[in-house]
Amino acid sequence: MGRPWYVGYFEGRDWLRNIDYTQEDIKKVLEAAWDLKRKFKSRIPTPYLKGRTLFMLFYNRSLRTRNSFEAGIHQLGGHAHFLSPDDVYTPTLPEDMVPYQTEAISDVARVLSRYGDAIAIRIYGDPAKWIIGRGHRIVEEFAKWATVPVLNMEDDLYHPFQALADIMTALEVMPKIRGKKFVVSYAYSGGLKPLAVPQSVALIAAMFGADVVIAHPPGFELMDDIIKKVKELADQYGGSLTITNNMEEAFEGAHFVYPKAWSPKKFFPPFNSTVDKEGAKAYQSKFKNWIVTMDLLEKAGKPYYMHCGPADRGQEVTDEVLDKYEKSLYFEEAENRLHVQKAVMAMVMGSKYEEYE
């Protein structure tokens, strides 16, 4: 069995943010993902990472992320090793060290680098102390010290693999999204959620030339530097950026809508002196009308509905939309997590020179 062109294509590189790569790079990932998806459907063996080990450190629990990475590395012939901070001394930053409770990330990253072939991290919310940007800083600290690729399975600013699955899914139903209206919208949740998904989705939609519309109530603004980058990408690739506080107006005439909860940043450091979870929840509760219903989608002209999952049924979206709406891509996005992650793992963990039997 010959080596596919994409194995080792980005050999040894980290995958922390999609914007660290070009549009052409992302297209190569998608090309590899479609090849791996075809082979998966046809039960064609893909032992491109035979004998490789992926260490997965989950500060936050997960269904889709954990299982798609574990299944993916297994299907590539490798092994996933699950690590929970509850099972080890918690890897942390220098200022938070506690004897016999924590271990320096600089040590953990270098030790795991000697045992395996990549390290994947998922951290946001409580494990990141709700200090916006701290989760991403921890992922970057791993990348600084590791001598193997580091993969960002979601932090408080970025969720690159979700965005890759999203753009793959969108292109499967509409091969060219340049100039198409792509709405990234707030939707209500009673829980507290990070900025990672809406920011990453807006960035990758802009990278592919969509007319990006970001809709949210006042107080739910995304990070300023992210908005600036979305605008730069939109200008570069022939799209546009619009920001509105009106959900129905944003949905009108849209080709894709991506309504997803995130928390108002003004209640958390560095935008607030303390972490005010109750204040954030109370503020969010004012916007329970930001929910996706069949009626809203019908009035908008039946756009494709997207969500990273898990969707908060009855809050972000009605059951009817998730279970009966013919243009929902909810489960297709979840499926494509497997394929884009396999593509990136093959590209960064694989060897350019190894052949397969």
Residue 8 covered by a domain: no
Number of domains in the chain: 2
3-state SS, the chain, equals CCCCCCCCCCCCCCECCHHHCCHHHHHHHHHHHHHHHHHHHCCCCCCCCCCCEEEEEECCCCCHHHHHHHHHHHHCCCEEEEECCCCCCEEECHHHCCCCCEEEHHHHHHHHHHHCCEEEEECCCHHHCCCCCHHHHHHHHHHHHCCCCEEECCCCCCCHHHHHHHHHHHHHHCCCCCCCEEEEEECCCCCCCCCHHHHHHHHHHHHCCCEEEEECCCCCCCCHHHHHHHHHHHHHHCCEEEEECCHHHHHCCCCEEEEECCCCHHHCCCCCCCCCHHHHHHHHHHHCCCCECHHHHHHHCCCEECCCCCCCECCCECHHHHHHCCCECHHHHHHHHHHHHHHHHHHHHCCCCCCCC
Same domain flag for 263 and 210: yes
Q: Which amino acid is residue 236, in one-letter code? A: Q
Give the neighbor-by-neighbor strand order of the sheet with 304-305: 240-244, 211-215, 181-186, 256-260, 304-305
Q: Which amino acid is residue 261, in one-letter code? A: A
Answer positive or negative: Cα dihedral of 303, 308, 310, 316.
Answer: negative
Same domain flag for 29 and 128: yes
Same domain flag for 111 and 68: yes
Same domain flag for 309 and 343: no
- Which of 92, 96, 93, 71 shows the shortest CA–CA distance to 82? 71
Dihedral angle computed from the Cα positions of residues 155, 174, 324 and 316, in that order, rounded to the nearest 10 degrees: 30
Task: Determine the structural domain holding residue 195 and report its residue range.
Answer: 162-334
Same domain flag for 145 and 216: no
Residue 262 covered by a domain: yes
Residue 86 confidence (pLDDT): 81
Q: For residue 109, what is the domain's CATH number?
A: 3.40.50.1370
Same domain flag for 73 and 204: no
Instruction: Enter the tokens of residue 197.
Output: 């998904």
CB 318 within 8 Å of CB 291: yes
Same domain flag for 82 and 69: yes
Kindly report the pTM of this predicted structure.
0.97
Residue 65 covered by a domain: yes
CB 120 within 8 Å of CB 54: yes
pLDDT tens, residue order, the chain (357 aa): 678 999 999 999 999 999 999 999 999 999 999 999 999 999 999 999 999 999 999 999 999 999 999 999 999 999 999 998 888 889 999 898 899 889 999 999 999 999 999 999 999 999 999 999 999 999 999 999 999 999 999 999 999 999 999 999 999 999 999 999 999 999 999 999 999 999 999 999 999 999 999 999 999 999 999 999 999 999 999 999 999 999 999 999 999 999 999 999 999 999 999 999 999 999 999 999 999 999 999 999 999 999 999 999 999 999 999 999 999 999 999 999 999 999 999 999 999 877 766
Residue 356 confidence (pLDDT): 63
Residue 20 confidence (pLDDT): 98
- Sort strands 150-152 and 240-244 into parallel, antiparallel or unpaired: unpaired
Residue 154 confidence (pLDDT): 98
Residue 354 covered by a domain: no
Give the span between the Cα atoms of 312 and 318, in whole angstroms: 9
Largest CA distance in the chain: 60
Give the span between the Cα atoms of 48 and 251, in whole angstroms: 42
CB 166 within 8 Å of CB 208: no
Residue 10 covered by a domain: no
- Which of 208, 193, 354 shows the shortest CA–CA distance to 284? 193
Same domain flag for 186 and 286: yes
Q: Which amino acid is residue 214, in one-letter code? A: I
Same domain flag for 343 and 273: no
Same domain flag for 69 and 216: no
Same domain flag for 181 and 316: yes
Residues 6+ apart with CB under 8 A from 162: 154, 196, 197, 200, 201, 308, 333, 337
Residue 288 covered by a domain: yes
Residue 89 covered by a domain: yes
Same domain flag for 170 and 145: no
CB 19 within 8 Å of CB 229: yes
Residue 311 confidence (pLDDT): 97
First to last CA, the chain: 5
Residue 227 covered by a domain: yes
Residue 321 confidence (pLDDT): 98
CB 261 within 8 Å of CB 281: no
